[in-house]
Amino acid sequence: MSEMPSPEITKTPAKAAALTGQIALFLDFDGTLVEIAPSPEDVKIDRRLPGALEALRQRLGGALALVSGRPVGLLDEMMTPYRFDTAGLHGAQIRLDGAEAPLAAPSEAIKAAIRKMVRFANAHIGVIVEDKRQSVALHWRLAPSLADEALALMEEVATEIGPSMRLQRGKAVAELVPATASKGGAIKWLLQQDGYVGRTPVFIGDDITDEDGFAAVNAADGLSIRIGDGETCARHRLASPTALRHVLLAAAEGGDLTLESFLQG
C-alpha cells in the first residue's frame, strides 16, 4: 500500500473560512467515527461521541447528518439517546427531522441472493453475511484468503438480480445495494433541504463507498476528507478516527467548528 500523503489540503475550498453556522457536516460511521472492527457487531464507540455530536448539531443549527452503509435503526442504537438526521444503507434510507420514509419489503431476488451468501458463509469460517433488508453485505475481514471467492460469488448474485441492484465494494466487504442509492445522491438531496441549503458541505469518510460523497461535496465547493490512506478524490486527509474524534470533541467542548478545524486536525 502506498504511503499516505501529507495531510495538507490539495485544493483549498473557496469558502475556506466558513464558520460553524455556515457548515453542513456529513459523517460516515465505520472507519470514520469508529475504528473498523473484525465484524460489524464488534464495533466500539467512544461514549463521549454521541453527546459531542449533539452539541455540534445544536451549534450547526441542525445541519449534521450521518451518512453510512448501516441501517438507520442500528445507527440510532449506537448514538443512544440521540437521533440524528441519517442517510442509511448508502442513501437508500433517509430520515430527516424525525420523519423516515418506509422501506419496501426485500424482493424475492434479494432473498435468493441472501440464501446463496448464507450457504457460502456457513461453509467458510470467518465469512459473515449482514442482512440489512434493502441491501446485503458479505464480509471476509476474518478470512482474507477467501477474498477472490467471495467477490466471485457477489458478482454472480449481482448478475442474477440484474440492474435494480449494484455491487459495491469496500474494505474486505462487498454489498448489494439499490442501484439508485448513493451517499453522493443522499448528500445532494440533504443540501436542498431546510436547514442545510446554502451551507458549505463537509463530508468525512474512509472507504471506496464514500468516493461519490466526496465528489458531490467537491462539486459543491465544500470540504471532502478521507480518513487514512488509499486512492481518493477527497481533497484532505485525517490520519485516523481518533484524529477526527479529537477535532469533534474539542469543538463540542467549547471551540467553534470551522473548515480550518479539520485542516489542522
Whether 87 contacts 67, CB under 8 Å:
yes
Out of 28, 76, 85, 206, which one is annotated catalytic?
A: 28
28 as an active site residue: the answer is yes
Strand partners, 75: none
**φ, ψ for residue 252, nearest 5 deg:** -65, -30
Angstrom CA distances, 71 to 40, 60, 102, 130, 216, stand at 12, 24, 12, 11, 22
- What is the three-class DSSP state of 5? coil
User: Helical H runs in 60-140?
Assistant: 72-78, 108-123
Contacts of residue 170, defined as CB under 8 A and 6 or more positions apart, other chains included, come to 69, 207, 208, 209
Contacts of residue 97, defined as CB under 8 A and 6 or more positions apart, other chains included, come to 85, 195
Closest CA to 128 of 40, 225, 234: 40
Residue 74 corresponds to which cell in the numbers above?
442500528
Distance in angstroms between the alpha carbons of the first and the last residue of the chain? 23
Whether 126 contacts 143, CB under 8 Å:
yes
Contacts of residue 186, defined as CB under 8 A and 6 or more positions apart, other chains included, come to 67, 87, 90, 91, 94, 213
Positions annotated as catalytic residues are 28
